[in-house]
Amino acid sequence: MHGMSRQPPPPRAPGGPQRNESRPGGPAGPGDQGWRSPIALALFGVLVVGFLLELLLSGSGKTQTITYSDFLDKVKAGQVTKVDIGEGSTSSRITVKAKDATGKEKTYVTTGPSKLPDDDIKLLRSKNIVETHHSQSGSAWGPILTLGLPILLLVGFWFWMSRRAQGQMAGLMSIGRSRAKVYTTEKPKTTFADVAGYTGVKREINEVVDFLKQPNKFREIGARIPKGVLLVGPPGTGKTLIARAVAGEAGVPFMSITGSDFMEMFVGVGAARVRDLFQTARKQAPCIIFVDEIDSIGRKRGAGLGGGHDEREQTLNQMLAEMDGFETTEGIVMMAATNRPDILDPALLRPGRFDRQVVVPLPDLEERLPILKVHCRDKKIAEDVDLAVVARGTPGMSGADLANLVNEAALFAVRRGAHEIHMEDFEAARDRILMGQRRESTVLSEAEKEHTAYHEGGHAVLAYVLPHADPVHKVTILPTGMALGATQQLPAEERHMYSEEYIEDMLCVMMGGRCAERVVFGELSTGAADDLQRSTEMARRMVREWGMSERVGPMAWGQQGAVFLGEDLMHTRDYSDDTARVVDEEVERILRAQEDRAMEKLQQHRTGLDAVAKALRDAETIDGAMVRRLVDEAFGKPVHGDPDAALPDATQFLETPDRA
């Protein structure tokens, strides 16, 4: 895919994205219940009951509090019928029964002196009021709550702290235990029927499952199943999915763990977890152990800056000893997955350990179709959707990419308000993945629009007229992703190797945008920055790696390795300065030759370039069929195919002014 860059690409930051691996905590101990323990609940219940009893004993009924003077006024008015005097050391609590103006009896509460004056006593007796005297004693819950509550709180806090300490000690003591998840035949539900394509991979993996289910069938003829199976392939090809399918198919326990689960901040934890993992596996044998992302602990020993006492190397040493050491591991089959087999330690790959490597490549055309069908099973697909066409238009996509494509198509259908996924949704989803999100906010001026149209038209015309280039699928001048326009090419067939002619045509197509601007406007712009970067890298690989230079000859110098492997920390260039000068000269020769070739082809098809540019300015997006029709009509005959074939009418796009 070629596009006109918005601006020169910024310098890239060194290094790749960082993986943040948080240290998992230990298992939950009994102290994690906190205040929910039975004793804490019992203490809380006692406090609640005591508080309720205090409320009941305090007489919090329908009473009204009045002042002592109001109480004497009611006595003088003859409203009081009964008085209960609770004498205390500092004050007395007086409960009064009195009648209101309507004759209805009410209860009042007031506070008086600790001992009522004699005049007040005479007043009560003169009114013939029934009076009772008693010593005022507080509720029994008062002292209990005052003195017992702090004690209960201290006891509860001490008990909670002891339980927390026990839980932490339990977690610390179990830090060396394996974190592998054990699956039985009931779960997971994934089977080989859910893994589309990869017939050869499933055959080899299924052989391991058959050995564990029926070991006698192999032992009768003396066959020994491989102890380890290493799944190797690019990211997203379904290595972990195949492992889940093995767990679903196997009638034996399946233990799954990732490489990062062995690593911990404490020294020796990784090796302890490896030992515990194999001890658990021996108890459940026959069984399968699956280690995902094994490259995190299986890198070459003695590399990097960690030294021989590095924690990762100690973990790897323990795994090597467990897989084929002094103790036998009969009935245990190891499976692992990685996308970096080049960095694994050779001792890990020798016979007796991981002695079988199963490559899980990117799916080809025949495999992409069943993969799409699997991901479309739970989707509402319209009748106009042809999954074979979708599979043919998605070369190089992995299984994860295809799953994302189907999901993006479903999202586009929801945005449109449709109830089914149509073919246009798949087209929009593919463009979204391959070319990027459409930038609605970016509006091009007329001059920028014209430059972009000729830039993308140059890519499209060369992609059609060159014999070995991939066919044009779609051309657009709508700002998409980081580019102001894009030309999308899709291969006509699956390619597993590339010829020199194909690569040269690819370089010539990359030069098409830059050369079209020179042919039409006589000047250059920053829109070809990405094209130049990719073409320079491709030409350098032709010279350094693929031996496609006569001056350099049959020699190859690959890419430098990663520093963390320790192999290139003191790396020096393995060819001389004279050879480096020759390499640079050859790269320049290849690029200039393809630039001259692009200029020649565009001048030859100048009328077709103008027609394609005009169509892009008018429609903003055209397909590959339109590009072919416009170029053939402008050329006067088909560029490829029968020269006597009838041409469609495309004269409406040929009325463009002649440019110097």
Q: Do 485 and 478 meet the contact criterion of CB atoms below 8 Å apart?
A: yes
Measured distance CA(475)–CA(2) in Å, rounded: 9
Known active-site residue 456: yes
Q: How far is CA 590 from CA 550, 559, 581, 583, in A?
A: 11, 20, 14, 11
| Identity of the amino acid at 121 | I
CA end-to-end span of the chain, whole Å? 29
| Identity of the amino acid at 361 | P
Q: How many residues appear in the chain? A: 660
φ, ψ for residue 437, nearest 5 deg: -75, 140
Measured distance CA(379)–CA(372) in Å, rounded: 11
Which residue shows structure tokens 């009410």?
106
Q: Do 348 and 298 meet the contact criterion of CB atoms below 8 Å apart?
A: yes
Q: Do 268 and 262 meet the contact criterion of CB atoms below 8 Å apart?
A: no
Q: Do 111 and 94 meet the contact criterion of CB atoms below 8 Å apart?
A: yes
Measured distance CA(163)–CA(161) in Å, rounded: 5
DSSP state of 9: P
Catalytic residue among 264, 448, 456, 504: 456
**DSSP letters of 541-601?**
HHHHTS---TTT-S--------GGGTSSTT---SS-HHHHHHHHHHHHHHHHHHHHHHHHH
Q: Do 226 and 208 meet the contact criterion of CB atoms below 8 Å apart?
A: yes
φ, ψ for residue 111, nearest 5 deg: -120, 130
Beta bridge partners of 255: 182, 289
Measured distance CA(648)–CA(651) in Å, rounded: 9
Q: Do 630 and 472 meet the contact criterion of CB atoms below 8 Å apart?
A: no
Q: Two tokens at 641?
A: 């195919």
- Reference 584, options 594, 592, 595, 596; nearest CA is 592
Cβ partners under 8 Å of residue 643, min gap 6: 637
Q: Do 399 and 371 meet the contact criterion of CB atoms below 8 Å apart?
A: yes
**DSSP letters of 391-415?**
HHT-TT--HHHHHHHHHHHHHHHHH
Kindly provide the residue ranges of all beta strands, DSSP E only, lying in 18-136, ordered along the sequence.
64-65, 80-87, 91-99, 105-113, 130-135
Q: Pairing relation of β-strands 181-183 and 254-258?
A: antiparallel
Cβ partners under 8 Å of residue 275, min gap 6: 176, 318, 322
Measured distance CA(415)–CA(111) in Å, rounded: 75
Measured distance CA(362)–CA(103) in Å, rounded: 98
Measured distance CA(325)–CA(347) in Å, rounded: 12
Measured distance CA(392)–CA(405) in Å, rounded: 13
Kindly provide the residue ranges of all beta strands, DSSP E only, lying in 317-471, ordered along the sequence.
332-338, 356-359
Number of neighbours of residue 618 by Cβ within 10 angstroms: 11
Measured distance CA(474)–CA(338) in Å, rounded: 36
Q: Do 294 and 239 meet the contact criterion of CB atoms below 8 Å apart?
A: no
Q: Which residues are known to be catalytic?
A: 456
